[in-house]
Structure 1
Amino acid sequence: MESFRFDPAGNLLDNAPAPDGHQNDSLLGNLLSQYAGRHYRYDSRGNLVEKRVNGSLTRLEWDSHSRLSRLIAPDGQRTDYHYDPLGRRIAKISQGQATLYGWDGDVLAFETRDEEAVHYLFEPDSFVPLAQVHTDAIRGVKVPAWSQHHPYDPDKDPLRQPAPEPEAPKAVYYYHTDHLGTPQALTDEQGLLALEMDYQAWGQAREVIADAAGKAGIRNPFRFQGQYHDDESGLHYNRHRYYDPEIGRFISRDPIGLKGGYNLFAYAPNTIEWVDPFGLTKLRETDPKARSLSNVQTRCWYLREESKIGYQIDCTKPIKQQARQAARLRNEARIRARLLMADREKAIALHQSDPNLTFKELMALKENKKGLTGKDAYQDIVDSASKSRQSVNKALLEGVDCDKVLEGI
């Protein structure tokens, strides 16, 4: 059995007291400096640059967009990472061996190295894997350097030539996942077990590989939704960031800032009902699919989530902690609702015109608009967390039965 301690911001705390006997109950700036014998150091932008374990040092380097560009292992092995203009990782080079990645939107479509490629199939509009298809390695096509002296000729453009007939796959393996889409096993075309996965609470995995599959080099790189495991570091590439399953958090700040939540490094409250496939903001797996709801459906869904806030607040805590919890829950509901909106222009406009407020900003607002401070302001935050603006409800929902609108959602 595993047990964990957290501070009010959701940071994982070390169960063991420090050498001086003091046991920390919060993290300054949400930066984890040590946990379970591991020590961490960050740069001024909040990117992890050093990890020290039992005297062994791992160093990390970042580019100007806060993307991991190089990792130097304790033995000196260097791994370089490369990204496309959309921030998707397209190559990893380690010990002279390159792995190239191809994408279908935000979903990994294939990876190729040496003499083999692996293509990945997913459930529609989802990060839940269905199968991996093994083929010969994907070869690049050389394209001439068209110029004024070497004008473009469509008849000589290799990209316009008929594609060769695809070869039959070498092998196909099928995924079996849990309720969150986390891989639990792979079976071959005969239904025989090729690989089985066992996870700790925050995603550290142990693979049990059948002899035949091991000889064939079968592996499963996927972990929680949207995560790809890197053998050289133990980190999980999570589209926009990297996640460390040893400490259950990201190793750099959230690129969307407070729109992703108060804690810029947090993954999720738990890994039983939450996922974060983009590395930006957590979602309940029971939520509707992203970008699937009309504006009216979104508002009704938000009101339903808002009505639950009062029951989720821990009334045994001091009123200030209750206020912080209420503000966090309301912000999270707003973030999730805007991710569900099919009308992306409207969702973006809402982010810009009505952004989430930090707790400090919320307290200032209570004082400036209502003259409330201290306990009175805390209580008002708790009371108003589940009371949305009636003007918005009237404009969108007049004559609307939200129970009917949300049937099946």
Structure 2
Amino acid sequence: MNVTTQGRRAIEYHYPDEHTVIRCILPPEDERDRHPDESLLKTTYRYNTAGELTEVILPGDETLTFSRDEAGREVLRHSNRGFACEQGWNAASQLVTQRAGFFPEETTWGGLLPSLVREYRYDSAGNVSAVTSREDYGRETRREYRLDRNGHVTAVTASGTGLGYGEGDESYGYDSCGYLKAQSAGRHRISEETDQYAGGHRLKQAGNTQYDYDAAGRMVSRTKHRDGYRPETERFRWDSRDQLTGYCSAQGEQWEYRHDASGRRTEKRCDRKKIRFTYLWDGDSIAEIREYRDDELYSVRHQVFNGFELISQQFSRVRQPHPSVAPQWVTRTNHAVSDPTGRPLMLFNSEGKTVWRPGQTSLWGLALSLPADTDDPDPRGELDAEADPGLLYAGQWRDGESGLCYNRFRYYEPETGMYLVSDPLGLLGGEQTYRYVPNPLGWIDQYGLAGCPRALARAMKRANRNLAKSAGYMNRAWYKFKGSAAHHIVAWDDPRALGARKILEKYGIHIDSAENGIFLKHVDPNSLQPGSYHRVIHTNKYYADVEARLADAAKANGKQGVLDELDAIRDDLLFNRLIY
């Protein structure tokens, strides 16, 4: 047994065998007398020999089972009470179809009764080029994406009966460093401006909004100007570790934030509203959120993730359906369906009925509203407001008070696609230190550190599974442990890797192929992943060394020489030989 303590809370981990992990969350000791019917949150995870999730048993004995094809791709996820999600893949292991809803145990007409059907199309470079979504009541929406040569989305064309108020076509422009310089989405317009960014790529002006920073490059104020109105200024307060400790709205509403020794946010509160939220972490994912109103426990939100993807949520609070009935602790279990990047698309109850869908947002997460005479969100968004998991992109929790999204290490602003502080990794996390990711349709940044393409991780997992099947063993470098991230040996976009990329292109080796990948430790110091840290190898020496070694190998033995040298570099990283 392993116990992780966080303040007054603890999570227990039990390992009955090599393929099973049991996570137990106990209520705080000082609240057990006041809420005696609040139960232990016991979640059981089961994995196969390749480390892939095969079963989750939730508190209340509801079971989710995951079925996979020979390549290890999830093709069916279903509960023992009716919910199911089918997924289809193409030969390149790209998700092409999703069908989610009710799966009856006995039926004469057969199969899944979907409330959600999604279809994905890709271009020759592997980027998402179109998504068609069909939902309940015949609503259908189709979005087509146009990309530039750098893989940035420049236009979104939307059509269909499912479009809500404020939705429609979108357009985006980028500067030479990949930062947004112009955008049009719904009522939100930012025209191209030559002085939009200050030194260090700090955003200083976006439309009618002005941004100010302190000497450490942290955003300290955001001022919105509207014709005929006084400027509205919001203020941000930071500590010496670049952690947000305070926020003051334009109306003077104060919010305070606390963090643990690992830098994870453990509490946020507003004394004026008498609201407080506490967070319990499972590694780098939030396992439980407790909400207090007037110093009394109001609700508990228990979330279960597979990596960065939300798979299930249990929301509990005291309910009294009738004055003649005693109040009791009631729990509702919902299951999530996410897009290829882990962004939640819908939540379903145990029987496969839709209970929540997100409000309409732009490509970069900006909320799209009703016509100009109202600020209310699209009413199609929340069927059950309490079911809202509070997530935008993978690893991002929305803060309603500020409109920002909290990552593990930073805060993201959907209006501009930017972080409020520079990358904690500095240039080791990439040259665009304030940018989110190059393309949110295919990239994720669940920690707020460095973006990661999902295609590379899938390719390595598939290659390892094929290796195990054909040879009876697996490559340690392609095995993903908790706390690790997919790393390109030859970087996909850094200009310092241009020469090495040309060598791969010459011999037809795809940048996202398993041959060009390795899983490395990312942020978790307790990760069992062997080898170097993902965050320390982006150095001039590393890029120069990789290019020189590949060039020599190509000269000596062509494509096979390049493949052999990629394998040798992978071993150097795996066994922490300093080539960086």
* Band the TM-score falls in, shorter-chain normalisation: 0.5 to 0.7
Choose from 304, 312, 328 the match for 1:131: 312
8 Å CA contact 2:478–2:518 kept in 1: the answer is no
Residue number in structure 2 paired with 1:203: 365
CA distance in 1, matches of 2:171, 2:356: 28
Q: Supply the AA of the counterpart residue of 1:90.
A: T
8 Å CA contact 1:174–1:186 kept in 2: the answer is yes
8 Å CA contact 2:520–2:532 kept in 1: the answer is yes
Q: Supply the AA of the counterpart residue of 2:209.
A: R
Q: 1:102 to 1:290 in 2, by over 3 A?
A: farther
Superposed displacement of residue 27, structure 1 = 4.8
Residue number in structure 1 paired with 2:332: 171
Superposed displacement of residue 337, structure 1 = 4.4
Choose from 449, 455, 458 the match for 1:286: 455
Superposed displacement of residue 170, structure 1 = 1.9
CA distance in 1, matches of 2:252, 2:425: 33
Choose from 304, 323, 326 the match for 2:498: 326
Choose from 417, 431, 440 the match for 1:271: 440
1:20-39 mapped onto 2 (5 Å cutoff): 23-24=194-195, 27-39=198-210
Superposed displacement of residue 36, structure 1 = 2.0
If the length of structure 1 is used for normalisation, what is the TM-score? 0.67
Larger RCO of the pair (alpha carbons < 8 Å, separation 6+): 1
Q: 1:178 to 1:29 in 2, by over 3 A?
A: same
Is 1:256 equivalent to 2:256 in the alignment? no
Please state whether the residue corresponding to 1:259 is helix, strand or coil. Answer: helix
CA distance in 2, matches of 1:296, 1:83: 33
Please state whether the residue corresponding to 1:118 is helix, strand or coil. Answer: strand
Superposed displacement of residue 168, structure 1 = 7.4
Choose from 164, 167, 191 the match for 1:16: 191
Gaps of 5+ in 1: 138-166, 313-321, 367-380, 401-409
Is 1:80 equivalent to 2:256 in the alignment? yes
Superposed displacement of residue 244, structure 1 = 0.6
8 Å CA contact 1:174–1:188 kept in 2: the answer is yes
8 Å CA contact 1:102–1:111 kept in 2: the answer is yes
Is 1:57 equivalent to 2:233 in the alignment? yes
Residue number in structure 2 paired with 1:116: 299
Superposed displacement of residue 208, structure 1 = 4.2
CA distance in 2, matches of 1:250, 1:93: 22
CA distance in 1, matches of 2:425, 2:264: 16
Gaps of 5+ in 2: 1-168, 183-189, 226-230, 293-297, 319-327, 368-376, 465-474, 480-485, 503-510, 554-560, 571-580
CA distance in 2, matches of 1:253, 1:101: 24
Is 1:346 equivalent to 2:531 in the alignment? yes
Q: Supply the AA of the counterpart residue of 2:419.
A: F
Superposed displacement of residue 288, structure 1 = 1.6
Q: Supply the AA of the counterpart residue of 1:326.
A: L
Superposed CA deviations along residues 199-233 of structure 1, whole A, max 9, x for unmatched, are 2111124664688724xx33230111100000001
CA distance in 1, matches of 2:171, 2:346: 26
Please state whether the residue corresponding to 1:74 is helix, strand or coil. Answer: coil
Superposed CA deviations along residues 208-265 of structure 1, whole A, max 9, x for unmatched, are 4688724xx3323011110000000110001111111110011101111111101111
If the length of structure 2 is used for normalisation, what is the TM-score? 0.49
Q: 1:183 to 1:72 in 2, by over 3 A?
A: same
Please state whether the residue corresponding to 1:286 is helix, strand or coil. Answer: helix
Q: 1:168 to 1:193 in 2, by over 3 A?
A: same
8 Å CA contact 1:193–1:210 kept in 2: the answer is no
8 Å CA contact 1:11–1:26 kept in 2: the answer is no
8 Å CA contact 2:197–2:205 kept in 1: the answer is no
Superposed displacement of residue 339, structure 1 = 3.3
Please state whether the residue corresponding to 1:82 is helix, strand or coil. Answer: strand
Superposed CA deviations along residues 347-401 of structure 1, whole A, max 9, x for unmatched, are 13x866x54239xx99xx99xxxxxxxxxxxxxx9xx599467599868847x9x
Is 1:100 equivalent to 2:272 in the alignment? no
Q: 1:59 to 1:116 in 2, by over 3 A?
A: same
Residue number in structure 1 paired with 2:346: 185
Q: CA RMSD in A?
A: 4.2
Please state whether the residue corresponding to 1:71 is helix, strand or coil. Answer: strand
1:32-47 mapped onto 2 (5 Å cutoff): 32-47=203-218
Please state whether the residue corresponding to 2:262 is helix, strand or coil. Answer: coil
Q: Supply the AA of the counterpart residue of 1:274.
A: W
Q: 1:336 to 1:270 in 2, by over 3 A?
A: farther
CA distance in 2, matches of 1:230, 1:106: 18
Q: Supply the AA of the counterpart residue of 2:345.
A: Q
Q: Supply the AA of the counterpart residue of 1:119.
A: H
CA distance in 1, matches of 2:261, 2:449: 18
Q: Supply the AA of the counterpart residue of 1:98.
A: R
8 Å CA contact 1:81–1:92 kept in 2: the answer is yes
Q: Supply the AA of the counterpart residue of 1:12.
A: L
